[in-house]
Chains A and B, each alone.
Chain A
Amino acid sequence: MSDFEKHYDQHLFETELRTRAERLVELLDQGQLSQAMDQVQQLNDMRHQALYHEVGTLTRAVHNAIIGFTDDISTKDLLRDSQHNIASISDASERLSYVIELTEANAHKTIDQVDNALEYVATIERHFLQRQELLDELALLKKDHPRLESLYDKACVYAGEQTVVLGHIKEQLTGILVAQEYQDITGQLIKRVIQLVADVEDKLVGLMAVASRVNSLGTLPASAGAKSEADTATEPSEMEADGPQVRGRNSASVASSQDEVDDLLSSLGF
């Protein structure tokens, strides 16, 4: 619903309320208590109707948002050709699941390369042991050759520096490895969002189903005040308005329940 329509509806609603309220005062002034009570009942019904309308509009918006998550086709097309164009929550979830898969694959790729790099580090570490053996030999030789003293000292300094740097490289590689744990955490969060999206729509549809049943029992005047937002909207009939049965029938299948959600919303004028 556009902001203009919302404003317009709101305005109508307030005018109607005001008229009825004035009529109520009038009736009370005239001492017509029974008619005044009728007026109170009608005011109450109006409030219910407004709420019902808001919930319906909200449910439709959520439903379309979920569909829009997958396809960039217009809402009207969706409503007209629900069989072919209705994407489902499962499609939206699939996209999110794909994010999990993709990050997992990439995390593994990173870990593979870190593993390879750590192998090289291990090789250098082995070479360092051999280097130490050479240094030890040089240490023995320098006793007889004082001129080797400064060479030995230099070699020791280089060796020490290299060992420190290799230690840093190993530390950094371990850091890269541990950083891949983001994949576990983001994966868990995405899984929860998938569940949340499904739950929100399910709860709203459930609410609409209950509201429509109340409607069909005659507590509320059907579709009075609740203007149809969708061009495919039909007047709620007794059969269609019996929401919970429609919903319960195919609840095992996500795809068909998506169609049912649409049918239900359309049948109620949303």
Chain B
Amino acid sequence: MNKDMKILVVDDFSTMRRIIKNLLRDLGFNNIVEADDGATALPLLKAGGIDFLVTDWNMPKMSGIDLLRTVRADPALSHIPILMVTAEAKREQIITAAQAGVNGYIIKPFTAGVLKEKIEKIFVRLQG
């Protein structure tokens, strides 16, 4: 796992963005950018250089699931691993996200340990 990789954190609540950013930093990731919803995240993704995407589901304008689908449908972006961190916990929602091509799914509230474990799992799977 490359600790220098550029991570985009997308959440409409600034507290949650800060928490995730802090936890990522604790895991050794310091190259982090933020966006407050899918609509503001997309230009950042299209500008290039994003190696990993962490997104919420329920956001104004463009939701996380729409962002996920848009990224997967774009040949230039489709390779980016995506981790969803969301309060949406229904079975159907998790299945929908999985079918849309999510790499990991964390239900809020979560712990620092869970975030670490899921990120590591994603990269083990990608390399394997």
Contact = CB atoms under 8 A, between A and B. Distances in A.
Interface stretch (B12-20, B33-41, B76-84): B12-20
A133 interface: no
A177 B14 contact: no
A159 to B, nearest CB: 23
Nearest to A115: B22
Interface string B95-128: 0000000000000111110000000000000000
Contact of B26 (A111, A174, A181, A185): A174
B13 A178 contact: no
A91 interface: no
B62 interface: no
Given A185-B108, A188-B58, A188-B87, A177 B22 contact: yes
A181 B15 contact: yes
B87 A177 contact: no
A88 to B, nearest CB: 22
B15 A180 contact: yes
A111 B112 contact: no
A108 interface: yes
Nearest to B109: A181
A104 B19 contact: no
A107 interface: yes
A184 B110 contact: no
A177 B23 contact: yes
A184 B16 contact: yes
A210 B24 CA distance: 55
Interface in A181-200: 181-185, 187-188
B26 A187 contact: no
Given A174-B23, A178-B111, A181-B108, A111 B87 contact: no
B22 A184 contact: no
Contacts of A183: 13, 15-16
A9 B26 CA distance: 68
Contacts of B108: 181, 184-185
Given A177-B23, A178-B110, A182-B109, A187 B13 contact: yes
A188 B57 CA distance: 12
B13 A104 contact: yes
B19 A177 contact: yes
B109 A111 contact: no
A243 to B, nearest CB: 33
Nearest to B16: A184
A112 to B, nearest CB: 9
A104 B19 CA distance: 12
B11 A111 contact: no
A114 B109 CA distance: 19
Contacts of B19: 111, 177-178, 180-181
A185 B110 CA distance: 11
A104 B11 CA distance: 14
Given A184-B87, A185-B87, A104 B110 contact: no
Interface in A141-185: 174, 177-178, 180-185
Contacts of A107: 15
A100 to B, nearest CB: 9
Contacts of A182: 109
A52 to B, nearest CB: 38
B89 to A, nearest CB: 11
Given A104-B13, A180-B19, 10 more contacts: A108-B15, A111-B18, A114-B22, A174-B22, A177-B22, A178-B112, A181-B15, A181-B16, A181-B108, A184-B87
5 contacts: A108-B14, A174-B23, A178-B23, A180-B15, A182-B109
Closest 4 CB pairs of A and B: A184-B13, A107-B15, A184-B16, A183-B15
